[in-house]
Amino acid sequence: MNKPVWLSERVQWIGAFDPDMRSFDVILKTPNGTTYNAYLVRGSEGVAVIDTVKAECADQFFARLEAVCTYAEITTIVLNHLEPDHTGALPELMRRAPQARLYISQSAQLMLKALLNRRDLDFTAVSTGDNVSLGDRNLRFLHTPYLHWPDTQCTYLEEECILFSGDVFGCHFCDERLFNDKVGDFRFAFEYYYARIMRPFREHVMKALTLIDPLPINMIAPTHGPILRDQPTRYLQRYRELSGQRLHKELNAGEKTLIIFYISAYGSTTRMAQAIRDGAEQVAGVRVSLYDMEGGDADLFIDLVEDADGILIGSPTINGDAAKPLWDLLSAFSMVNVRGKLAGAFGSYGWSGEAVQMLEGRMRGLKMRVPLDGVRVKLIPSAEELELCVQHGRTVGEHLTGSNAPRVIDMADLLASRQPEVESNATLTRE
């Protein structure tokens, strides 16, 4: 029981199996559990422990560690990622091996203090280009932030070409055979982990791959799931594919895409959506698509959302709120990176019309850009109001292409139009 696993003569897996876990970090289902992978590297002049495990699994970790070294031998502790499932056993490890030097990334420093709530911590912050020597074994650090926290880094064992990658290239898959050429089919787990954990950070994945690519790789040793020793570069290639363009390129160079999602009870918001589309399409270089969310589920659209330059959402106000399918759509936005995309809302209403500003607030909260106040129409849009929708669409299109006219505004007016109070913002009550 609790035996370590040899990756090579000098490198052992000393992690923990957690086969009964069924949901991870709230956002992931784990139908066959997970592993917390920690490793031990032995050099002629020192021993390094790379990452630890979740606190609840610490007994497994210490039993495996004790089978291959004594605490007094440990010179070095490396943390590639500070999430509690990899740092849970750290305080106890530091108590048992107080002489060991702790190596973390630059961005991990404040996090470590907040995680352990200790003031007397001593550590070395490292980045790309820094090394730590264990005599005839040397560890090199790679600064690979935002995979999937700001603190993440990779550690490379020079002499054996093993990449200790942290969460990147990992997955939740618990199989005691541990190596990718021995375990069951974990392709689903690998893809699912990428989609839910790494995808919002795909630009950072690409940057990390450029750092990793020049290195010869014999093995990738992530912090969850199988150790990738059979054709490891296949997994780098898969990450490259997954982080690239999802949909084939349909657009001409310089063309911008605007997607209008809407839902409508009596057709008023539909007519507004169509008028806004007509306006936006008048702007050269803007391609507009219209989707009625009554006919679609949020998950279907996530690839399109990731690729879009601008997104407008139209909703009637029902019981003082936007319609549920649109909230469902917005709750799926965090699966991809929408920061900085142009956004806006519009809709028809009967009494009070809160939906538009609530949707705008949510999109601002997602750090999308909302440069224009949304159009709201009381009940059925008149011909004049539809013309205002066309104009609004044109302005949105101009913002997308950067051809909008200069505007000067007073700060008080700017902030007043951002207040959640609705009556002060009745933009279309002109007779």
Residues 149-178 that bind other proteins (CB under 8 A): 150
CB atoms within 10 A of CB 254: 8
122: left (phi over 0), alpha (psi -120 to 50) or beta: beta
Q: Which of 2, 8, 32, 106 binds other proteins (CB under 8 A)?
A: 106
Instruction: Tell the burial category of 221 from Cβ atoms under 10 Å away from its Cβ (0-12, 13-18, 19+).
Output: buried
- Of residues 124, 128, 231, 289, which one binds other proteins by CB under 8 A? 128
Task: Output the smallest distance, CB 156 to other proteins, in A.
Answer: 15
- Asked if 138 touches other proteins (CB under 8 A), the answer is no
**Does residue number 399 form part of the binding site for other proteins (CB under 8 A)?**
yes
Q: Which stretch binds other proteins (CB under 8 A): 29-37, 255-263, 338-346, 351-359?
A: 338-346
Burial class (CB in 10 A: 0-12, 13-18, 19+), 105: buried
349 bridge partner residues:
378
Our finding on whether 38 is near other proteins (CB under 8 A) is no
- Tell me whether strands 101-105 and 124-126 are parallel, antiparallel or unpaired: parallel
The reply on whether position 404 binds other proteins by CB under 8 A is yes
- Is residue 339 close enough to count as binding other proteins by CB under 8 A? yes
Q: How far is the CB of 404 from other proteins (least distance, A)?
A: 6
- When binding is defined by CB under 8 A, the residue of 77, 154, 227, 342 that contacts other proteins is 342
CA atoms within 13 A on the CB side of 237: 5
Rounded Cα gap, residues 367 and 333, in angstroms: 11
Size of the site for other proteins (CB under 8 A): 33
- Comparing CB distances to other proteins, the nearer of 91 and 285 is 285
189 — phi, psi (to 5°)?
A: -60, -40
Angle (nearest 5°) at CA 141 between 81 and 73 = 80
- Binding other proteins (rule: CB under 8 A), the pick from 96, 196, 369, 378 is 369
Considering the rule CB under 8 A, would residue 366 count as an interface residue with other proteins? no
Residue 107's CB: how many other CB atoms inside 10 A? Answer: 18
Confirm or reject binding of residue 211 to other proteins (CB under 8 A): yes
Q: Assess 240 for contact with other proteins (CB under 8 A).
A: no
Q: Where are the alpha helices (DSSP H) in 69-185?
A: 84-87, 90-96, 108-116
Among 54, 143, 172, 224, binds other proteins (CB under 8 A): 143
Interface with other proteins (CB under 8 A), residue from 63, 68, 318, 370: 370
Could you give the dihedral angle defined by the CA atoms of residues 67, 69, 72 and 74, in that order, rounded to the nearest 10 degrees? Answer: -130
Binding site for other proteins (CB under 8 A): 106-107, 110, 127-128, 143, 145, 150, 207, 210-211, 339-340, 342, 364, 367, 369-372, 399, 402, 404-411, 414-415, 418
